[in-house]
Homo-oligomer: A and B are copies of this chain.
C-alpha cells in the first residue's frame, strides 16, 4: 500500500508539471476539499491553472514524502518567478524560493482532502532582503 501511494503521488506530481488537466480526474476526487473548502474537481483544476497563469515557471518538486495510509505528507520545494502579486505579496517578477508542507487524504484511490500550508514568511523575508 505504501509503495502504491508513493507511485500514485509521483504520477500526480507528473500530471501537474505536465499541466495534463484532462488526466487530473485520475488523481483528484470529484468532491475534493482543499483547506476546508469544497472546491470539487473543477474548482481544484481552476486553482492549479490559476497558479500556472500567475507563475509561468511553476514546477512541483517533492523534497520529502512520507506515506501512511490513508495519508500522504509532502514537502514541496518551489523556486519560481510569480509575475505580480503572490499570496498578497508584490513579488513582481522576482525569483523566490519557498516551501509548501501539505497533507493529502486518499480515499477510493483519489485525493479527497488537502491540508496545505505555504511558507509565506520565507517569501516575505526574501523580498525584504533584496
* Contact between chains at B117 and A100 (CB < 8 Å): yes
Chain B residues contacting A115 (CB-CB under 8 Å) are: 64, 75, 99, 101
Assess whether A26 is interfacial by the CB under 8 Å rule: no
* Per-residue interface assignment for chain A, residues 96 to 110, with 1 indicating a CB less than 8 Å from any chain B CB and 0 otherwise: 000111110000000
Would you list which residues of chain A between 7 and 52 have a CB under 8 Å from chain B?
none
Copies in the complex: 2
**How many residues belonging to A are interface residues under a CB distance threshold of 8 Å?**
25
* Contact between chains at B75 and A66 (CB < 8 Å): no
Assess whether A120 is interfacial by the CB under 8 Å rule: yes
Assess whether A112 is interfacial by the CB under 8 Å rule: no
Report the 6 A-B pairs with minimum CB-CB distance, sorted nearest first.
A73-B73, A101-B101, A66-B68, A66-B71, A101-B117, A117-B117
* 24 pairs, A vs B, C-beta closer than 8 Å: A64-B71, A64-B73, A66-B66, A66-B67, A66-B68, A66-B71, A66-B72, A66-B73, A66-B103, A67-B68, A68-B68, A71-B73, A73-B73, A73-B101, A73-B103, A75-B103, A75-B115, A87-B121, A88-B121, A99-B117, A101-B101, A101-B103, A101-B117, A120-B120
